[in-house]
Amino acid sequence: MSFKQTPSQTIGPFFAYGLTPKQYGYNEIKDITSNNLNSEGTIGERISIEGIVFDGNNEAVDDALIEIWQASSSGLYVTSRNQKNTNDSFCGFGRCGTGTNPQRKFSFTTIKPGSASENQAPHINFIIFMRGLLSHVYTRMYFPEEEVANQHDSFLIKVPKNRRQTLIAKQMSSSKVKVYQFNIYMQGANETVFFDV
Amino acid sequence: MTLSYNQRDWTVHPSYFSENYKSTHLRSPTKAPVKIEQTNSELTAPSFFSLINHEQENDLTKNGAVDGQQPLGERIVVTGSVVDENGKPQPNTLIEIWQCNSSGRYIHAADQHDAPLDPNFFGAGRCITDKNGIYKFYSIKPGAYPWGNHKNAWRPAHIHFSLFGPAFATRLITQSYFPGDPLLELDPIFQSTPKEARKLLIKTFDIEVTEEGFALGYKFDFILRGPKATPMEK
């Protein structure tokens, strides 16, 4: 018997009360996560990330869902297998919709991840869903100050040089917490690099 | 740990661009995704078991109801298994669902369809698959509703499903439809799926699953990406 993968379908415009209820003001069910990945016991450098998803007309998308998954400050992905072995209260997974900010920004409060292995520069994994996107896309956000590590990253080296900048966040003007801007372009000259994960 | 997962099977998944589904025109990537070797980032996933209430929120006939009242519509029970491409059950997998009510109206504030909200229906829930990869939801059969894609466009009744699976690579969001719906043939979203794979998105009516005097039963199984076959055991 053969098992074919279940086909993907678009998330549609009305996911928010099911997947990000609190952000959108629904209280009937609890959230499994939020756009704040930190808690008191989280170890690491506090950062925030913000960005806008742009469509092919360069208009901000107001009904996208962004999911991020990242390693802890020590480079560990906290999973069901290893969460008991770490005293770092960091879950590594966050969600944010683009429908509640007036500029259609998504934002996350998190920590800067450590490097998960030798050929991996510190990075944050992104999945993007939206109405009009029939299958989700995968991308990664890298850090501008990690020039050396970025040069040896096993994903970045597969990306044509002239497109790599779409994956490197910009550090915004200094405040107490480092803010990185990471915009996502679905189409156009700056189309974000998506990975065939 | 799994060495790597099979690629997404593009003989079953819809292409990003669909001529007839207009929202894809400005939102579909135009460049081919860059091929990579999967790393820890793709092979791991968060543990939702500790994040979710152990009281499973899988009964949509109750989780939006006020003072013991009931939502309007035809009660349904939807159950099935989550397996990988090798048929291996996937336990502890988070499944989240959302849907419109029996009149075809979502509770989402952005839904402006002129059909009534149901004060006793919220329309979202979640559960975790058991040790055999089985899930079960109780709900109300969702209605069809119009949308702006083309003249007289109506979405067939559907439930949105979100699954994580064992890894970031196995993430899946999809919609499952109901058998015999005449709107399926006219729906650009359903039709964007490669022809041979469309049947994988339609629930099966099942009298064995049907609960006597209470709810019509439907089966729907999920097949997530499986581990790549390795030539040799290490």
Q: Classify residue A7: in a domain, yes or no.
A: no
Summarize pLDDT for B11-48 with one digit per residue, the tens: 999 999 999 999 999 999 999 999 999 999 999 999 87
CB contact under 8 A, B40 and A77: yes
Structural domain span for residue A35 = 16-185
**In this complex, do A117 and B40 lie within 8 Å of one another by their Cβ atoms?**
yes
Q: Which residues of A touch B84 (CB under 8 A)?
A: 3
Residues of B numbered 110-139 whose beta carbons fall under 8 angstroms of chain A's beta carbons: which are they? Answer: 110-111, 122-126
At the fourth CATH level, the homologous superfamily of domain B56-224 is: Aromatic compound dioxygenase (2.60.130.10)
B107 contacts in chain A (CB < 8 Å)? 17, 26
Considering the entire predicted model, what is its pTM?
Answer: 0.96
- Catalytic residue positions of B? 106, 145, 155, 158, 160
pLDDT digits (tens, 9 = 90+) for B81-107: 999 999 999 999 999 999 999 999 999
Per-residue pLDDT tens, chain B, 234 aa: give them. 568 999 999 999 999 999 999 999 999 999 999 999 999 999 999 987 665 655 668 999 999 999 989 999 999 999 999 999 999 999 999 999 999 999 999 999 999 999 999 999 999 999 999 999 999 999 999 999 999 999 999 999 999 999 999 999 999 999 999 999 999 999 999 999 999 999 999 999 999 999 999 999 999 999 999 999 765 544
CA distance A169 to A181: 5
Model pLDDT for residues A123-141, shown as the tens digit of each residue: 999 999 999 999 999 999 9
pLDDT of residue B53: 59
Tell me the domain boundaries of chain B.
56-224
Segment 7-26 of chain B within 8 Å of chain A by CB: 7-9, 11-16, 18, 21-26
Determine whether the interchain pair B124/A18 forms a contact, defined as Cβ–Cβ distance below 8 Å. yes
Q: What is the number of other CB atoms lying within 10 angstroms of the CB of residue B132?
A: 11
Instruction: Report the CATH number that the domain containing residue A52 is assigned in CATH.
Output: 2.60.130.10
CA distances from A7 to A3, A86, B133, B173, B197 (A): 12, 36, 19, 9, 7
Select the residue of B7, B40, B47 nearest A116 (Cβ to Cβ). B40
Domain presence at residue A172:
yes
Three-state SS for B133? coil
**How many A/B residue pairs have CB atoms within 8 Å?**
260
CB B117 within 8 A of CB B123: no
A1 falls within a domain: no
